[in-house]
Amino acid sequence: MQKRRVIGIDPGLAHTGFGVIDAIGNNIRLVSYGVIETPAAEEHGTRLLAIYNRLVSVLLEFKPEQAAMEELYFARNVSSAMSVAEAKGVVTLCLAQNALPLCMYRPNQIKYAVTGTKTADKKTVEQYVKILLNLETEPKPDHAADALAAAITHVFSTSNLVNYGL
């Protein structure tokens, strides 16, 4: 089996999390993670451009071959949903311009792939990300942990070794 490098992304206007992992089959290893932050005081378009430019830098530095992102799901706040959708659009454009295939996963798919249950809370997902990547502590902030969870889900759901009900 050959090594795959996967980037997971958790899009948001204020915080866009990213997590990069290497995988050989279902064996995964952390490469890097972090958050692209944009200040609320900046002009909206400038914030979107900052997300784009910083993500391009991450892609150039780590050279992932595949990308994963959580599908948007909002029950309440329409205005924050719009900002996240715009950030997601910028991320999607950036990935397409860099010829990176993107797979989208529902929140319950990610929870199930990482923890074995579709109803796990954020803290449980963070704990399992820590365990699966053999880290000393949970990755922080939570946007980075969510991005790593998306990358892990992609590896597990695209390997032919295990059926995770995805």
Report the catalytic residues: 10, 70, 143
Coil, strand or helix: which one is 70?
Answer: strand
74 φ, ψ (degrees, to nearest 5): -135, 135
32 φ, ψ (degrees, to nearest 5): -170, 160
Residue 134 region, left (φ>0) first, then alpha (ψ -120 to 50), else beta?
Answer: left
Find all residues with CB under 8 Å of 80, minimum gap 6, and list them.
74
Token pair, residue 69, equals: 């992102």
**Residue whose tokens read 């954020």:** 122
98 φ, ψ (degrees, to nearest 5): -100, 15
Q: How far apart are CA 5 and CA 63, in angstroms?
A: 8
Token pair, residue 13, equals: 């206007």
